[in-house]
Amino acid sequence: MTLFPAEATQREIARELYAHARDLPLISPHGHVDPALLADDEPFPDPARLFVVPDHYVTRMLASQGIPPARLGVPSIDGSEVETDGRAIWRLLAANWHLFRGTPSRLWIEKVFAEVFSIKKAFGTATADEIYDELSDRLAEPEFRPRALFTRFNIEVLATTESPIDDLSAHAKLAADGWGGPGGRVITTFRPDNLVDMEWAGWAERVAALGELTGQDVGTYPGFLAALRSRRELFIAAGATSSDHGHPTAATADLTDAEAAVLYRKGLGGATDARDAETFRAHMLVEFARMSLDDGLVMQLHPGSVRNHNTALYARHGRDVGGDIPSATEYVQALRPLLDRYGDDPRLRIVLYTLDETAFTRELAPLAGGYAALYLGAPWWFLDSPEGLRRFRETVTETAGFYNTAGFVDDTRAFCSIPARHDVARRVDAGFLARLVAEGRLPLDEAAETIADLAYHLPKKVFRLDGPAA
């Protein structure tokens, strides 16, 4: 995998540019690795449980060809049986490996095989068992434990994602071991979705838990805000430099305290409808922006995913197993209340993501290229792929430049794939910059500086990983 343009002039330039980025440490400011993985530093389980079971990119694709997640060992929540034999799962993947031609999953997995586990053979039915055995052997060795890999991967900082009611115990252990806390290698991210989304089953219970955890009177809206603020402080103490907000839409609303309190009380009373819930989520984004201006957390907003679209899958396996689908997402009117309030304030940093590419030239690049508070997040999820990354640069750069983008985020649960994902992004950026150079649109020395900025300096700065906030 070079991923560089095939054309010789650009290929040479891309190779040269890539050399400026290849060995820079990895900044991973947004991801979903389980912090216990690094806190406990236990060996990984078998190959199927490392590469298949938790990877919804993989289980989705197999489901799309009629292989149900239960046959792939995806845990059920309805008591139905699931495959437990790792080797059987592995053989299913191998027998269907052709489905992944042209997908980033294939690139990532083959790269991990080759570069992390030194597997020399091509994966497929004929080699499945052999590779399973090789991987199993490696996983038993100490240098394949999570912390050893973390060091070998040259990760400078990795952010995980936790709810405000998480007890952060894994992060406490990491800090105790010298791996966590402010400026540490493994940090947390404040993700309050399940506390601001009244439509999410169990909301009131989680709010109550928040009250217990903080000693605040969450029966009132001011108490709710105080509780969130106090959790933010603890998250910052556990290294957090950003918050993360995954809403159905990008709607923001700037309510008065009194208006917000009415919605909050209705929510606690179980009397809200979908519109109230949307307004409350929208308002809380402005509230969180206000908190960010005080405590410096960078806000990340990624709207536009229809969660749990596959009803049967959700009923059987629950959330986050591949049943989410993007939908058209509007930003220009949606963000206006927030931007009217704080959009020109350069102390605030809001990183915007999208699953709707049409917003790149039409909405996101003009917004990020006009408001001091806005940055564009990396292509996300279905767009985190060679073509998606390329189109991102082609569509946003001319209006927003490079320096209103926030750098690559791997957004992954799959710890071993982190270097592969960053490497793909660095290669694609090298190819894009090489084209600018070859077409006489950017001098080579500036392109070289730019790729290092994109790969390392820019995410570090935008996500405030370069020191205390102001």
User: Which residues within the stretch 281-320 sit at the binding site for a copy of itself (CB under 8 A)?
Assistant: 306, 309-313
Read off φ and ψ for residue 53, nearest 5 degrees: -50, -45
Residues 413-452 that bind a copy of itself (CB under 8 A): 435-436, 438-443, 446, 449-450
Q: Which stretch binds a copy of itself (CB under 8 A): 159-167, 214-222, 241-249, 388-396?
A: 388-396
Residues 358-377 that bind a copy of itself (CB under 8 A): 358, 361-363, 365-372, 374
Query: What distance in Å separates the CA atoms of residue 280 and residue 266, rounded to the nearest whole number?
Result: 11
Question: Which of 201, 258, 328, 470 forms a contact with a copy of itself (CB under 8 A)?
Answer: 328
Structure tokens at 314: 């959700």
Q: Tally helices (H) and strands (E) across the chain.
A: 22, 9
Residues 67-86 that bind a copy of itself (CB under 8 A): 68
Q: How do 155-159 and 298-301 pair as beta strands?
A: unpaired
Instruction: Pick between residue 221 and residue 375 the one whose CB is nearest to a copy of itself.
Output: 375
Rounded to a whole number of angstroms, the minimum distance from the CB of residue 140 to a copy of itself is: 31
Rounded to a whole number of angstroms, the minimum distance from the CB of residue 150 to a copy of itself is: 27
Instruction: Pick between residue 197 and residue 384 the one whose CB is nearest to a copy of itself.
Output: 384
Residue 27 interacting with a copy of itself (CB under 8 A): no
Instruction: Pick between residue 141 and residue 340 the one whose CB is nearest to a copy of itself.
Output: 340
Name every residue whose Cβ is closer than 8 Å to that of residue 177 and which is 6 or more positions away in sequence: 39
Strands (E), 166-252: 186-187, 242-245
Read off φ and ψ for residue 326, nearest 5 degrees: -65, 165
Rounded to a whole number of angstroms, the minimum distance from the CB of residue 122 to a copy of itself is: 8
In residues, how long is the chain?
470
Rounded to a whole number of angstroms, the minimum distance from the CB of residue 312 to a copy of itself is: 5
Structure tokens at 96: 């269907």
Q: Which stretch binds a copy of itself (CB under 8 A): 26-34, 84-92, 333-341, 408-416?
A: 333-341
Instruction: Pick between residue 85 and residue 439 the one whose CB is nearest to a copy of itself.
Output: 439
Q: How do 350-352 and 374-376 pair as beta strands?
A: parallel
- List the Cα angle 381/193/347 in 5-degree steps: 85
In DSSP terms, 214 is beta-bridged to: none
Rounded to a whole number of angstroms, the minimum distance from the CB of residue 35 to a copy of itself is: 28
- List the Cα angle 301/248/26 in 5-degree steps: 35
Rounded to a whole number of angstroms, the minimum distance from the CB of residue 28 to a copy of itself is: 21
Residue 265 interacting with a copy of itself (CB under 8 A): no
Q: How far is CA 134 from CA 114, 120, 121, 272, 294, in A?
A: 12, 10, 11, 55, 51
Instruction: Pick between residue 143 and residue 445 the one whose CB is nearest to a copy of itself.
Output: 445
Residue 344 interacting with a copy of itself (CB under 8 A): yes
Q: Sign of torsion, CA 223 228 231 237? A: negative
Residue 108 interacting with a copy of itself (CB under 8 A): no
Instruction: Pick between residue 222 and residue 366 the one whose CB is nearest to a copy of itself.
Output: 366
Rounded to a whole number of angstroms, the minimum distance from the CB of residue 178 to a copy of itself is: 36
